[in-house]
Structure 1
Amino acid sequence: MLTVRQVAAYHAMTLVAPAVAERFRPGQFLAVAVGGEHTSLLARRCFPVYEVKSDYGGTVEFVFEAGDPGAEWLASRRSRDSLDVLGPLGRPFPLPRDPASCLLVGGAHGSSGLFSLADALRRRDCQVHFVLGAPRAHEVFGARSAQRIGESATVVTRDGSLGVTGTIPDVLPRVIEETSADVVYAAGPTALLGSVASVSAALGIPCQVSVGEWLADTAACGIGTCLSCVLPLIGDDGHTRMVRACTEGPVLRGERVRWSDLGTIPLDALGGPRAPQAPLEAAP
């Protein structure tokens, strides 16, 4: 480990991890063991990667909120401590083949995973626009960086303490029109992702979402074995299947996720529970 620093309401941790830095692609995540040797926290914590640098031996930085015992343990680490980290894991963001206008939408610290994507898009001569939001100003992550590197950056807070008053879905249709967006990329709270996917679908804009919060909230293993992060996804054939956010995701097509059925196994999902059958009447 290299450093832990406070960034507004969050913590940013930088690790020396050359093997991870070499293989990382935007949208992938880290699975970090928390609690130390004498812990009851058996599950790892999964975090999107904020930034990767090839200097200093290959560093990887991720952002987290110290809101649970595992994250609080991470925040208490010091520069000479070691961490057990798996990564990079998961399916990355697909990148446009040709230059395109790309709108990156992030909520709270979930937006941290969009900045490595922005760098990759700019290297492909894509235009990069941001919409970042949170309930309050100190919960918005990366507003200054977005204003510096993006062609445009719209910041939204529910209480009006920074940028526009309201929520991201309130401003999204206008920003999509103003930026002539060809594709929307989104990361952040699960409820936000569903709204972004709905708005994008209504406007006929492709939408890629990173379901990182769903993955983090399930305290998943990160490698597809515990099956705690499954969610219903509509396949190319129109059938719903239960997929693992950590392996088939975390990046998914927004319009394919059955947002209203998260946390359930729909009756029509392949391999899912069968609908109860009416009892047969006894023969006379």
Structure 2
Amino acid sequence: MSEVQGPVHVEAEVVATKRIGGYRHLTLTAPGVPERFRAGNFVAVTVEGHVARRALWVHRVRASSSYGPTLDVVVEDRGAGSGTAWLAAQPVGTRLALTGPLGRPFALPKDAVSCLLVGEGYAAAPLFPLAERLRERGCGVSLVVSAPDESRLLAALEARRSARSVTVLTADGSVGLRGTVADHVDDLLRRSDADVVYAAGPHAVLRAAAGAAERAGAWSQVAVETPTPCGTGLCHGCVLPVVGEDGVDRVVRTCADGPVVRGDRVRWEAL
């Protein structure tokens, strides 16, 4: 049977909502989306009172539940009037116009290699389904979960079920090692002896992970987050500066040509 592909536009429903630390976790039914999902994809949701849609990373997909296939997304409430504040406030039973899965997912190694996954805050969400896929392929997975403080760590306990080793970093030292990804990533990469580095989080985290990979001779992929007004590539509002295979500088659309790209291809200084 051929693999199900391509995004769909559906009416999703909130079937569970839970506050965990600084984030709101929503469980959604979205017919056809879980079956098409690949780690690194995202979904775009229409938000009341906003023209631009809100792009959300997918944290977990369940093939079956009492509601059928579901997907979990993580929302960071960014304050009154924001689209994320509206989403975080939606109760069970809310119906949302949703398109997905969107974007290019993470590429998986052909061989069973050692992998280092580096994520910060809510944007670490796509690394959890990625870790599951890598383990299914026999890859050794080391996971770094980072945040400014303990409340904004994403699923640190769950991380220990997803990887052979887990390192927790907080900038304020409230839990785990004190410091940022940039402070520790070179040492963590040496200790993991990883052949591939995957990263998801703020641009500074992605840049640090990609730089460490390049210095160590490893291959890197980063999930870049930029505002995506449409999520489908039509509006060209989410440009990402890269270096092409031919060595020529150009811009691509994060939502359609990304969000996952090679770390050594991003022109970080131009972001």
TM-score normalised over the length of structure 2: 0.91
Give the Å deviation of 1:227: 1.2
Residue 219 of structure 1, CA deviation: 4.3
Q: Does 2:187 align with 1:178?
A: no
Choose from 172, 177, 190 the match for 1:164.
177
Q: Which residue is equivalent to 1:18?
A: 31
Answer yes or no: is 1:48 the counterpart of 2:48.
no
Q: 1:90 aligns with which of 81, 103, 125?
A: 103
Q: Kindly state the Cα deviation for residue 241 of structure 1 after the two structures are TM-superposed.
A: 1.4
Letter in 1 for 2:63: S
Q: Note if contact 2:128-2:162 (Cα within 8 Å) is conserved in structure 1.
A: no
Q: Which residue of 2 aligns with 1:231?
A: 240
**How far apart, CA to CA, are the structure 1 residues paired with 2:204 and 2:118?**
13
Q: Which residue identity is paired with 1:31? A: A
Q: Which residue of 2 aligns with 1:148?
A: 161
Instruction: Give the partner amino acid of 1:23.
Output: R
Residue type of the partner of 1:136? D
Who is 1:109 aligned against?
Answer: 122
Native 8 Å contact 2:39 2:126 kept in 1:
yes
Residue 71 of structure 2 is matched in structure 1 by 60
User: Using the alignment, how far apart are the partners of 2:228 and 2:246 within structure 1?
Assistant: 31
Report the Cα offset of residue 205 of structure 1: 1.0
Which residue of structure 1 aligns with residue 3 of structure 2? none
Q: Distance in 1 between matches of 2:135 and 2:208?
A: 26
The 2-side partners of 1:29 and 1:3 are apart by 19
Partner of 1:277: none
Moved more, 244-253 or 10-19: 10-19
Q: Is the 8 A contact 1:32 1:46 kept in 2?
A: yes
Q: Secondary structure at the match of 1:247?
A: helix
What is the rounded CA distance, in whole Å, between the counterparts of 1:199 and 1:179 in structure 2? 12
More strand, by proportion: 2
**Equivalent position amino acid for 2:175 in 1:** L
Counterpart check, 1:136 vs 2:145: no
Structure 1 counterpart of 2:4: none
Counterparts of 1:7 and 1:169, CA distance in 2: 26
Matched, 1:119 2:132: yes
Between the aligned partners of 1:108 and 1:84, the Cα distance in structure 2 is 26
Measured against aligned partners, the alpha-carbon deviations of 1:188-241 in whole angstroms (never above 9, x if no partner) come to: 1112111211121111111100002x2xxx242100111111011111110111
Indicate if the aligned counterparts of 1:18 and 1:54 stay in contact, CA closer than 8 A: no
Letter in 2 for 1:201: E
Q: Which runs of 5+ in 1 are unaligned?
A: 263-284
Q: Which amino acid aligns with 2:15?
A: L
Mapped to 1, the partners of 2:25 and 2:239 lie a distance apart of 28
Query: Take 1:129 and 1:145, find their aligned partners in 2: how far apart are those partners?
Result: 13
Q: Which runs of 5+ in 2 are unaligned?
A: 1-13
Is residue 256 of structure 1 aligned with residue 269 of structure 2?
no
| Alpha-carbon RMSD | 1.0
Give distance in 2, aligned partners of 1:18 and 1:95. Answer: 26
| One-letter amino acid of the counterpart of residue 64, structure 1 | V
Task: State the number of aligned residues.
Answer: 254
Distance of 1:190 and 1:58 partners within structure 2? 32
Q: Which runs of 4+ in 1 moved over 4 A?
A: none
Contact 1:101–1:128 under 8 Å retained in 2: yes
Deviation per CA, 1:167-189: give whole Å up to 9, x if none.
Answer: 11211111111111010000011
Residue 201 of structure 1 pairs with residue 214 of structure 2: yes
Partner SS, residue 202 of structure 1 = helix
Report the CA distance between 1:148 and its aligned residue.
2.5
Partner of 1:221: 230
**What fraction of aligned residue pairs are identical, expressed as a percent?**
44
